Amino acid sequence: MASRISRGVLRDLLKLRLGGVRQSSNAAAATTSAAGGGAGAGPKIPHSSKKGRLLTASMLGLVIAGGAYVSTVDEGTFCGLLFQATKFVNPFFALLDPEVAHRIAVSAAARGYLPREKRPDPSILGLEIWGRKFSNPLGLAAGFDKNAEAIEGLLGLGFGFVEVGSVTPLPQEGNPKPRIFRLRQEGAIINRCGFNSDGILVVAKRLGAQHGKRKMEENSSSLSLSDGGIKHGGKAGPGILGVNIGKNKTSEDAAADYVQGVHTLSQYADYLVINISSPNTPGLRKLQGRQQLKDLVKKVARNLRLDGLCSNCIRQIHIPGQIISNTTVSRPDSVSKNPSAEEAGGLSGKPLFDLSTNILKEMYILTRGKIPLIGCGGVSSGEDAYKKIRAGASLVQLYTAFAYGGPALIPQIKAELVECLERDGFKSVQDAVGADCR
């Protein structure tokens, strides 16, 4: 495998030197414009340019040397090197518009340009919830892969589960751009995307194709842990897949939108999420009222997880799980001095950590630990994930930290989480769930 990769890179570099590169994405068009090229034309390296020849020679030398080195290391070491290498690429995304950077990241994952985790997760991270075996409790929150374009690539990064969406019945553009704002120093993001979605039919087609591909992979590969031979995965292959369902902005019947989502997408998902907590869709959070929520659940399904469920209702409705929490429209003191804090939308990232963790702990106590909770909000390290777990989370999601830290953050968090568990004498993630509430 290592030698094939090296030859592929070498071939691409030769094409770059001899004929320029073709570009099709918006980001590529922007790069062309900045370089002074015409619309749709890729940047070319002049044959007479000494700098161009020097750069090409240097890159070829690095590829040849790298290929020689890679051929001498084992697959696990090579895998680790690939993840570490993404640290050198990730800073360039900060130079791009946030939404353009996001689009490129999703496309890269969809096309298999991201590293793939080949190292098995330590058994201490494994757990079973809802009849599904998770190889680790770390997941990617909804909002990154809204339209189910990159499931395989994202699960390949080593996430225990990936949640796509929110998916609306009809396609909709979402709110006007710009609608994503970085607060880099605070490790936060504000977004007001407003459920921009390709719609259920498009997403269902993609999920169907992914479902078949993952099923084939399940049948042809071993998913066992190193110590017990226990297979980890859901109904369609390795990794757990969740689908987050939303309503259209102009819809007058929210329940009908959610019912359509359930009927169309449930066959592909290991779990479904009814999203009633986004601050960027007018009237959505009104569904959190006690009676409104009861009526909604009765119409949709009895056994669904709800994102943003009000605490007054959880003991009266049979709900198998809950995500805590979504973004917030509040602006903590830690971000108040940032000019971007004045932008409307939901705030995510580090400033939410304490607030969301306290709510998580309260919900765990309220439900007496009888339903699985997913902790989300401000997780950027293994220690953060561990604190969520001790506060009552069986699973943990992240988004903003991944946007800033890139693929290298995933194995780092898992390794740090293992250290935290072993440090305090826990033999498994499950043993640590709710430890601070006992």
Active site residues: 278
Q: How many CB atoms lie within 10 A of CB 417?
A: 26
Residues 6+ apart with CB under 8 A from 5: 67, 70
Q: What angle do CA 187, 188, 191 make, to 5 degrees?
A: 155
Q: Are 353 and 398 in contact (CB under 8 A)?
A: no
| CA proximity to 175, closest of 424, 31, 344, 21 | 344
Provide the phi-psi class of 297: left if phi over 0, else alpha when psi is between -120 and 50, else beta: alpha
User: Residue 398 has which token pair?
Assistant: 């992240």
- CA 201 distance to own-chain centroid: 22
Q: For residues 389 and 424, is the Cβ–Cβ distance under 8 A? A: no
Centre a 10 Å sphere on the Cβ of residue 173 and count the other Cβ atoms it contains. 12
Strands 180-183 and 188-191: antiparallel
Q: Tokens in use for 235?
A: 């109904």
**Residues for the chain: how many in total?**
438
Q: What angle do CA 6, 8, 14 make, to 5 degrees?
A: 105
| Cα-Cα end-to-end distance for the chain | 49
